[in-house]
Structure formats: C-alpha cells, structure tokens
Amino acid sequence: MEVFEAIKTRRSIRSYKNIPVEKEKLLKVLEAARLAPSAVNFQPWTFIVVTDPVVKQKLKASYQSDWFTSAPVIIIACAHPNKAWKKFDGEEYWKVDVAIAMQNLILAAWEEGLGTCWIGAFKEDEAKRVLGIPSDVRIVAMTPLGYPAEEKGPVTNRKPLDEIVRYEHW
Amino acid sequence: MEVFEAIKTRRSIRSYKNIPVEKEKLLKVLEAARLAPSAVNFQPWTFIVVTDPVVKQKLKASYQSDWFTSAPVIIIACAHPNKAWKKFDGEEYWKVDVAIAMQNLILAAWEEGLGTCWIGAFKEDEAKRVLGIPSDVRIVAMTPLGYPAEEKGPVTNRKPLDEIVRYEHW
C-alpha cells in the first residue's frame, strides 16, 4: 500500500475479529517502530506486547472498554525519559520520539491489513502495576492490534488545510 | 512506495538540491499531516511553510546549520497546548499529536522523493520571534523539505528488536 493511501484510509479501529495476528506480521510492525528516528538516535523506547488473555483482562484496570481487550494483541509504547534527549532549555522529547515510532507501527500495521487505535486515556499507574513497569519508565500510548471487524471510509472530520497552514509567518 | 519500504529507506537528509518543491507535492505532504489522528480529534496544530530566502536567513537565529536554510522549504510544526486534549491526571498530549502529524508528513514526503530531517535543537524563542508566533503556541519540531542532494542506504544504527520489545510484561 502506498504511503499516502495508508495515511488517507487508516482509521481508528474499535472492533476486532477473534483471530490471532501472525507472528511475522507482528514482527514487521515492531520492526517499523524499531526503525524510527529519534532525537540524537537515543531510541528511548520499549514496546510491550500483550496477547495473554489473563494479562489483557488485568489491563482493563487501566482502560475499561471491552473492544480494547477483545483485540488479539495490545501494544504498550513506553518511554525512558532518563535515557532520552533533552534540549538545552530543558524541553523533553521522549513523547515525540515514542509518538514517531508508534505512528510508524500504526501505518505499517494498516498496510498489513491490521487495525489499531491510539489510546491515551489509560490509567498509567494501573497499567504500570499490572505490567511491572519500573517507576522511571513512562507509558506514552497503547494500541490494540488485530484484524478489523468494522469497515470505515476515509477520514472526513479534519480541519481544512487553510485553517492549519500558514505561509512564511504566523 | 509501500509503507514499510518508506519506513525502511527514509533517512535524515542534510543536503538539498537547489530546486524548488512543486506546489502539488507541498500540498500533498501538508495533507498527510492534516489527516493525522490526534487525541479527541482536537487537531491542535499549525504548520508554517517558509520558502522566502529572507525569512529563511532570519530563521538561522534559531538554528544555525547552513544545510537547514539551503533547503527550498522549511516547515515549522506548531502546537496549541491550550486547545489540546489533557488527560485526567493532567498529562499533556500536544507533543504526541504534533509528532504523529509530522511523521505522516515526513513519510509522505519520502514517497514523493523529498527529503526531510526532524529538528528539535532549535532556539524556540528566536524562531517564535522571527515568525511572529503567539506566546501560547509552541514549536514542537522543524524540518527542511526538498530534493535530497545526498544518497544514503537504509538505516543500520538501531537497537536490535530484542532490546526494545518485551512480551506480556516488563
């Protein structure tokens, strides 16, 4: 699938078929994340792959929607702020780094016919407790991963280009 | 170009040909950013497109590399933290939102034969002054955009997958 086509057609999927994700496809989407650029190439990220139904059920403590745990795979994108680049003014870039890698993963998944959904509204402390994530590691986002059980047309609910682009100056 | 191929071959470009970017290609990469998902679909972003040599020279106050301003286009990715989603625990997501849109733009550019380079180490106050960006708007990243004047092989300097992936738990 062409890049622009993937960007144009990719939708947030909130209903998944009850079939597993092939190992080679899972490895390919993780590889897409691995290859992402990051500030000073520090790659301050860890991806946790959850497929165990028991662990998925426990993860509901952090995000309670049924469709979330009905996906065959859940991927938790973690950042290591202490190992990430910081700007001279103190600005932190770990959220940017992990978001780049996650978007790579999400677009690569769509090319493989796999749905995802960026999730931010999780209870981080609960997810960290369930997964045994160290206190100095942060969760930036989660996504379910699996074959979509819903069909959606292209994105239509975005601001027009002239509202979000300016030329030469503000 | 297929998504995974773009992710695998895309490199940071720090040398650009002295030829302009066609308007339709510029609009297509901006469209790729426009279509990006964001938390609660708030789309808290503005992209500033700089092509004027005078403005580019002024932007050197924020980032002094010659290759940066030698590109025919510079895109400044801005966030509106006050218009972005915040989690119940106060965690802010505007860096994630803008990073997703910027990575869309960057991959779409590569498909069009256009190089980019994520830049984080700019002096934000200088760039905001030059471009007249309001105080409540933040710059997340910049990138030059243009035809590459250097050839690079695929990415090789990334951690192996088994260092960045864990299964079921930390």
Question: What 3 state SS string does B101-132 have?
Answer: HHHHHHHHHHHCCCEECCECCCCHHHHHHHHC
CATH of the domain at B130: 3.40.109.10
- Chain A interface mutation, best of B7, B46, B143, highest count of A Cβ atoms under 10 Å: B7
Under 8 Å CB-to-CB from A12, ≥6 apart: which residues? A116, A117, A118, B37
Higher pLDDT, B154 or B5: B5
* C-alpha closest to that of A85 among A43, A34, A46: A43
Mean pLDDT (whole number) for B88-93 = 96
B80 occurs within a structural domain: yes
The pLDDT score that the predictor gives to residue A97 is 98
The pLDDT score that the predictor gives to residue B12 is 98
* C-alpha closest to that of B102 among B60, B52, B70, B139: B139
Query: How many whole angstroms from its chain centre is CA B56?
Result: 16
Q: Helices B94-111 and A94-111 sit at what angle, rounded to 10 degrees?
A: 50
ipTM for the predicted complex comes to 0.98
A169 occurs within a structural domain: no
The pLDDT score that the predictor gives to residue A103 is 98
A64 occurs within a structural domain: yes
The pLDDT score that the predictor gives to residue A24 is 98
B156 occurs within a structural domain: yes
Reduced to 3 states (helix: H, G, I; strand: E, B; else coil), residue A151 is coil
Distance between CA atoms of residues B170 and B167, nearest Å: 7
A164 vs B4, B34, B168: nearest CB:
B34
* C-alpha closest to that of B2 among A2, A28, A111: A2
- pLDDT one digit per residue (tens) for chain A, 170 residues: 999 999 999 999 999 999 999 999 999 999 999 999 999 999 999 999 999 999 999 999 999 998 999 999 999 999 999 999 999 999 999 999 999 999 999 999 999 999 999 999 999 999 999 999 999 999 999 999 999 999 999 999 999 999 999 999 99
The pLDDT score that the predictor gives to residue B41 is 98
* Contact (CB, 8 A) for B146 and B16: yes
Under 8 Å CB-to-CB from B69, ≥6 apart: which residues? B56, B57, B59, B60, B144
Distances (CA, A) of A85 to A90, A92, A138, B48, B78: 9, 7, 15, 25, 20
Is A169 touching B (CB cutoff 8 A)? yes
B3 neighbourhood in chain A, CB within 8 Å: 1-3, 6, 32, 107-108, 110-111
pTM over 0.90: yes
Under 8 Å CB-to-CB from A122, ≥6 apart: which residues? A62, A63, A139, A142
A35 occurs within a structural domain: yes
The pLDDT score that the predictor gives to residue A63 is 97
CB-CB under 8 Å, A3 with B107:
yes
Q: Searching chain B, which residue's CA lies closest to the CA of residue A97?
A: B99
A135 occurs within a structural domain: yes
Question: What does the block give as tokens for A168?
Answer: 């030469």
Is A41 touching B (CB cutoff 8 A)? yes
Number of domains in chain A: 1
Reduced to 3 states (helix: H, G, I; strand: E, B; else coil), residue A140 is strand
Question: What does the block give as tokens for A23?
Answer: 């190992």
Average pLDDT, chain B: 97
A170 occurs within a structural domain: no
Could you tell me the residue range of the domain that residue B59 belongs to? 3-164
CB-CB under 8 Å, A2 with B3:
yes
- pLDDT tens for B114-123 read 999 999 999 9
The pLDDT score that the predictor gives to residue B29 is 98
B140 occurs within a structural domain: yes
CB-CB under 8 Å, B170 with A134:
yes
- pLDDT tens for B1-49 read 999 999 999 999 999 999 999 999 999 999 999 999 999 999 999 999 9
